[in-house]
Chains A and B, each alone.
Chain A
């Protein structure tokens, strides 16, 4: 990036309102060829709206966007793509039933004459995959592809359109560290080919490792663009929240009590083997390990979503029956699942209904659900979690990611669990909300709840947990006390780099 180089893309003073909400309120963004540019901001800061304006989904109300010196023509996603902007959304938007080749070229399939040329399309797609350094078969369907692979297909699609601006919206949120490394390589590769890459992430360590410049947004406006080397994490956070965040991991001292959860030689063929551990009241135990190491599978088995073949799970001295989540709920286990959209929430139902759904037995009278009690319950939790919403009757899908996560938490905390299991509790949510979620978990531990936290973010596990259990390939390969844990040690054990 040369100082006197002219920018590829320049957005000036962009404004966009939805109804009464000013989603963009003076957003600026300048991108140069060959740079990887971080776009940061809390949830609701306007990043998504900005991305969608670039993608052609939204049209800005006022302001200018210049692309390669020419005014950017807004109006449709097709137009945006034709002008060289490719947006890779947080949830990749592949077509599971189509082949990878067709996914890459969808809507503009390669043709010979007026018919689709499948062979050319497959060859071209395979070439792109090879260029990206991945082994994917262009003739296989996209169903069942991992998120990491789906992103690669999206990137191949961007390359095939000869995109000059490639925007990645939280691409690493669901990736293992190995996959993150792969993605970084790809991003650097794209930048070296003179693309401008926009990288949206909530993981600051990644931003500092990858990006050359950082733009921070707050309340719909750009509050600063700096070279990464002139920034540090606390400065970024301060810009994002507009105030000092006291502490990201507010670990409170909690009295450690009796054993609440006892897992003994738990096993499920093909998933995990011989898992034993205990969690005491007031204790937070972290489950670390790469994606696919069996972490989520274990907590799902404990909660009874999946069955297990071997071993036993004991809660407060009582054996739990496998494969029966509702019985587990009654005995005081709560699982906040990994994927809030699919597993945690009824997206089109109201906030009230979602918050109260675990409590319907207690709230209903003669099988009739009383909406008032739902609303009351939701309100009290909404306040505890400082949920931002218009009315409790709004569907959950209208909330931002962070607020959705709060609703999931609310519905499980409402059951007053003795054992709370949280799987990726802060995935894809902003720093401010993250700190709130952490504070809440810490507080619950202080109240004597036993907590198991599964997370791909090492700082989170290390910051919150009293004890850290490390998984690799379905086995428990290490255990660290809070004081003894270092990122290096954990990663070494999780990847099997060395035995410690």
Chain B
């Protein structure tokens, strides 16, 4: 029993999950509409984009890196999908295009971070601007409209499966797959090792550069494919699509216990973090609190998350081989 309890308390995602439950309960009590199916759909639909990107971002953050280019990538990808579709290309062609864009950005990021040893913060800030710049050039003043969106994407954006929006299901399935990989596949475990102690990872024979490269590549690929999610969600895309998303994504990860210092955190936490931030935004609306407070609350939550993390990590009781101290 005692070990079950300690195991429960070791779960990093517990605080953010409890916070989510509390937010939902309070808001639901104050405003019963929050508890309705449409309230649920609002949250789950609203969170799909950030949750998808947060899953991908987790791969990078656990290595103590960051990928800020995801907002530009997803926006550009959404535009390319719509654009290609409007020119008569099929769904799979469009998705191939999205994937190719994601892989290209991911490979560029990965190459510079892993092999040129440049700091990821700067590299991905650079690619954020570069991709956005190219996007602006390509898109100009054009806007993708609903009639240009490929059928399957349009479908998953608008429909639900037993009341659950398909978009949310996409995010959850991705979370489950990546979650499984990060827990059970050796090479993905290396990402945690790299983020926890880079020097030890190198000494321990972990192919650090290759892992870092592949993780950035995967993050890029998912961000590219996620263009479909963004397009499905809004049914439109223009040169400013996805602008600033990267920061919401990083915030979701951090709130969900994916430590920016690397080494810990799960995609489950990242998704719960995204849902919490979304729920709070909705809750403040439901409670009639002015919109501008939402950002302040999110910011406070972010700082609270990192403070809690700091507190918990200093509180860990060192065990000793000598038994008593």
Contact B318 A144 (CB under 8 A): yes
Q: A367 an interface residue at 8 Å Cβ cutoff?
A: no
Q: Determine whether the beta carbon of A116 is less than 8 Å from that of B189.
A: yes
Given contacts A76-B205, A102-B189, A115-B184, contact A97 B196 (CB under 8 A): yes
Tell me the minimal C-beta distance from B168 to chain A in angstroms.
Answer: 27
Question: B263 contacts A78, CB within 8 Å?
Answer: no
Could you tell me if B185 and A146 are in contact, using CB atoms closer than 8 angstroms? no
Interface residues in B175-204 (C-beta closer than 8 Å to A): 183-186, 189-190, 192-193, 195-197, 199-204
B36 located at the interface, meaning its Cβ lies under 8 Å from any Cβ of chain A in the complex: no
B186: A residues at CB distance < 8 A: 107-109, 111, 116
Contacts A78-B205, A89-B203, A116-B186: A97 and B321 contacting too (C-beta < 8 A)?
no
B residues within 8 A CB of A56?
A: 205
Contact in complex: B200, A93 (CB < 8 Å): yes
Residue A298 at the B interface, CB < 8 A?
A: no
B193 and A95 within 8 A (CB) = yes
Q: Per-residue 0/1 for B290-325: is the Cβ within 8 Å of any A Cβ (1 yes, 0 no)?
A: 000000000000000000000001001111111101
Q: Which residues of the other chain, A, contact B200 by a CB distance below 8 angstroms?
A: 93-95
Chain B's closest residue to A109 (CB) is: B186
Once bound together, how far apart are the Cα atoms of A96 and B195, in whole Å? 10
A81 touching B205, Cβ below 8 Å: yes
Asked whether, in the complex, the Cβ of A106 is within 8 Å of the Cβ of B193, the reply is yes
A145 within 8 A of B: yes
- Contact across chains for A146 and B320 when beta carbons are under 8 A apart: yes
Interface SS, A side: loop
Min Cβ gap B314→A in Å is 9
**Chain A residues within an 8 Å CB radius of B204:** 77, 93, 106-107
Q: Which of A131-139, A281-289, A332-340, A481-489 has 4 or more CB atoms under 8 Å from chain B?
A: A131-139
Residues of chain B with a CB closer than 8 A to A93's CB: 197, 199-200, 203-204
Q: B206: CB under 8 A from chain A?
A: yes
Q: Is the CB of A149 within 8 A of B320?
A: yes
**Interface flag for A197 (CB, 8 Å):** no
Whether B264 is near chain A, meaning CB under 8 Å from some CB there, is yes
Q: Does A143 contact B (CB under 8 A)?
A: yes
Could you tell me if A179 and B322 are in contact, using CB atoms closer than 8 angstroms?
yes
In the complex, whether A292 has a CB less than 8 A from a CB of chain B is: yes
Residue of B at shortest CB range from A183? B321
A13 an interface residue at 8 Å Cβ cutoff? Answer: no
| A55 with B185, Cβ < 8 A, contacts A97-B264, A143-B313 known | no
Q: How far is the CB of A474 from chain B (nearest CB, A)?
A: 10
By beta carbon, the residue of chain B nearest A80 is B205
- With A145-B319, A152-B321: A107-B185 Cβ-Cβ less than 8 Å: no
Q: B196–A135 contact, CB under 8 A?
A: no
Q: Mark A294-333, 1 if CB is under 8 A from B, else 0.
A: 0000000000000000000000000000000000000000
A106-B204, A109-B189, A114-B185 given; A97·B195 CB < 8 A: yes
A365 CA to B205 CA in the complex, in Å? Answer: 50
Contact of A475 with B by CB under 8 A? no
0/1 interface trace, chain B 200-219, chain A, CB 8 Å (1 if under):
11111110000000000000
Smallest beta-carbon distance B177→chain A, Å: 13
How many Å lie between the Cα of A108 and that of B202 in the bound state? 14
Interface residue ranges, A against B (CB under 8 Å): 55-57, 76-79, 81, 89, 93-98, 102, 106-109, 111, 114-116, 134-137, 139-141, 143-146, 148-149, 152, 178-179, 182, 292
Identify 24 residue pairs between A and B in the complex whose beta-carbon atoms are under 8 Å apart, listed by A's number: A93-B199, A95-B263, A96-B263, A97-B263, A98-B196, A102-B189, A106-B201, A107-B204, A109-B189, A114-B185, A115-B185, A116-B183, A116-B189, A134-B321, A135-B323, A136-B319, A140-B319, A144-B316, A144-B318, A146-B321, A148-B320, A149-B318, A149-B320, A179-B322
Question: Which residues of B are interface residues toward A (Cβ below 8 A)?
Answer: 7, 183-186, 189-190, 192-193, 195-197, 199-206, 259, 262-264, 313, 316-323, 325
